Amino acid sequence: MRKSVKFIQQDIPTMIFFIKKALRSGLLLALFAMLPAVGCKTHPAASPKEGEMEEVVAAAPVVREKMKFAELTPKKAALAQSLKTYFAQLNKSGFNGTALFAENGEIVYSEAFGYANLKTKEPLTMESAFQLASVSKPITSLAVLILKQEGKIGLDDSVRKYIPELPYPGITIRHLLSHRSGLPNYMYFAEQDWPNKDIPMKNQDVIDLMVQHQYKPYYLPNKRYNYCNTNFVLLATIVEKVSGMKFEDFVQKRIFDPCKMVNSRIYNKNVSPINTNPVVGYPTGRAEAENTFMNGVVGDKGVYCSVYDLLMLDQALYTDKLITEATRKEAFTPQHKDLRINDNYGLGWRLDLAESFNPAIYHTGWWRGFRSYFIRELGEKRTIIILCNTPRASRFNTRDLRERF
């Protein structure tokens, strides 16, 4: 397995640079020896005051065990070769990214193609972390469901219980998770009404714009399904208010670290004006994606993960490590009577339940040159993960990907 960059909970760009340099130089032991000097001491826990965020002290780096690779029986070897041929052809057409196919948590096929940075020609690896775009939404959903399990949030609670200034009554947390709120999409009104696009927005700014302008909702609450990024911005805000932690810190502590997702983090432009992640997005040609003012908004996007990290998350979701079986069942239950059973939405997940013996729980995403696919077949226990950072040969049909496996 290739060496990886391990993100520490403190979001310090220079730290990331030196960690990466040390790993490449084989100085891992020396780096670990230095860690206590950069704030890894423990302190007595103290509850944050109301309205304040809990201070998170950097912990020792999480170490992940070696990934498991399947024993290639003749059948699996033929399948792996077929996938290798398929992606090699895509690579000739411009596919630039990483792909992983696993069964029962064991990797049948995985490969990296192309570059993290087209200018420097830094190659992609299986440890390269990509912007997940809307594949961030299942992770935001998990954060909410963890708090729900602890009795701190009710799925049928009014959103105004947590965000009282929100000028839209009748919306519940369940409506946000299932895209039944009817709210307008912040990406449209922010583009129009955010006054200085040199200053990144915060989640609270999205709420403030809605309060100020009283945008007309698209639909009444629970009227119908309407996919909307605003829903998950509000959910991330609620996680912060209930937990007393920054959203990024909560996800790191309660999801990334327990799952040993060593390359994962949430990028927030308000915290780090410069995005130091090695993998760059290219929306068109060789032009790098703009680090837009919307990159200060989290919950709907902003999570960076590698394919290995997503496989770790996939496997954790077969256990009670994050959420219980009862909570998982609720999250994977269709929430829309007006949608087809093979194209429905649960609580933060897309659902294809056409095959009752092998339901598919998945999400896809696109943002600023990045495309992501995270597909889980629960019956066959198969996992398909594809992450790309250029648009060429990066559009996949989820059903077609499943049939190839």
- Residue 360: which H helix or E strand, with range? strand 360-367
How confident is the model at residue 241, as a pLDDT? 98
Could you tell me which residue, 16 or 275, shows the higher pLDDT?
A: 275
Looking at residue 361, its amino acid is I
With tokens 């960076």, the residue in question is 304
Give pLDDT, residue 26. 42
Domains (range + CATH), the chain: 13-33+64-135+246-404 (3.40.710.10)
Q: What is the mean pLDDT of residues 264-290?
A: 96
Distance in angstroms (rounded) separating the CA atoms of residues 180 and 229:
12
Whole-prediction pTM: 0.85
Lookup result for tokens 């059903």 = 399
Q: What's the pLDDT band for 366 if we cut at 50, 70, 90?
A: very high
More confident residue, 22 or 150: 150
Mean pLDDT of 122-134: 98
Answer yes or no: is pLDDT of 120 > 50: yes
Percent of the chain with pLDDT over 90: 83
The CA angle 57-59-65, to the nearest 5 degrees, is 160
Q: Does the pLDDT at position 22 exceed 60?
A: no
What is the overall mean pLDDT for the chain? Answer: 88
List residues with catalytic annotation.
Answer: 134
Lowest mean pLDDT of 44-48, 153-157, 364-368, name the range: 44-48
Q: Quick: pLDDT tens for 198-243.
A: 999 999 999 999 999 999 999 999 999 999 999 999 999 999 999 9
pLDDT tens string 97-106: 999 999 999 9
Q: Whole-angstrom Cα distance, residue 149 to residue 178?
A: 18
* Token reading at 81: 């070769």
